[in-house]
């Protein structure tokens, strides 16, 4: 394991929380674990009981004086499309917003890919539906997540596995 990967707090599996379609009666499953230099997110997307997504999320605290144009995801994929989700707080109240933003990125089976996801690529959504929301400000980011949905899975359902090598702010 490289020193950078060993110290990257975004790759600490204990910081991530699973949130699958089971919150709505579905039966998809997932897990997160450390695999060498990577954080592995894997499981199975299932469609029973109107299911169809698996996700994980964690808090993110941007540097107080930092700024970013988005995020960069370095991952070894399985050929599925994934979504990087960004959770924000209301700048006036500090409370987490009721919606999240997402941008999709493609992976290639067994290959490491680098996806630059800029703020204009992110769409705001709530429970799978797009909503109107202000533009993302890096200072308001409260958390990040990774999700796979039935629409993003190459077969519409089934097993998935992605190894995240790094998730980092995209410099302006």
Helix and strand numbers (H, E) in the chain are: 1, 12
CB neighbourhood size of 172 (10 A): 10
Contacts for 118 with CB less than 8 Å, ≥ 6 apart? 69, 70, 170
Alpha carbon distance 46, 53 (integer Å): 8
Up-side HSE of residue 137: CA atoms within 13 Å toward CB? 10
pLDDT value of position 1 = 42
Alpha carbon distance 10, 83 (integer Å): 16
- CATH 3.40.50.360, domain 3-170, yes or no: no
pTM: 0.93
pLDDT tens per residue, the chain (172 residues)?
444 444 577 789 999 999 999 989 999 999 999 999 999 999 999 999 999 999 999 999 988 778 999 999 999 999 999 999 999 999 999 999 999 999 999 999 999 999 999 999 999 999 889 999 999 999 999 999 999 999 999 999 999 999 999 999 999 9
| β-bridge mates for residue 156, sequence order | none
């Amino acid at each position: 394991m490289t020193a950078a990967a060993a110290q990257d707090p975004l790759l600490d599996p204990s910081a991530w929380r699973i949130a699958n379609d089971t919150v709505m009666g579905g039966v998809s499953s997932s897990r997160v674990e450390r695999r060498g230099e990577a954080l592995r997110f894997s499981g199975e997307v299932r469609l029973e009981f109107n299911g169809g997504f698996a996700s994980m999320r964690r808090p993110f605290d941007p540097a107080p004086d930092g700024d970013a144009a988005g995020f960069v995801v370095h991952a070894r994929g399985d050929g599925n499309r994934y979504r990087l989700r960004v959770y924000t707080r209301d700048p006036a109240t500090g409370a987490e917003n009721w919606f999240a933003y997402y941008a999709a990125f493609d992976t290639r089976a067994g290959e490491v890919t680098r996806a630059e996801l800029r703020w204009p690529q992110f769409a705001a959504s709530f429970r799978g539906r797009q909503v109107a929301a202000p533009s993302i400000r890096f200072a308001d980011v409260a958390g990040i997540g990774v999700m796979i949905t039935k629409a993003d899975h190459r077969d519409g359902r089934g097993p998935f596995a992605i190894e995240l090598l790094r998730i980092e702010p995209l410099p302006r």
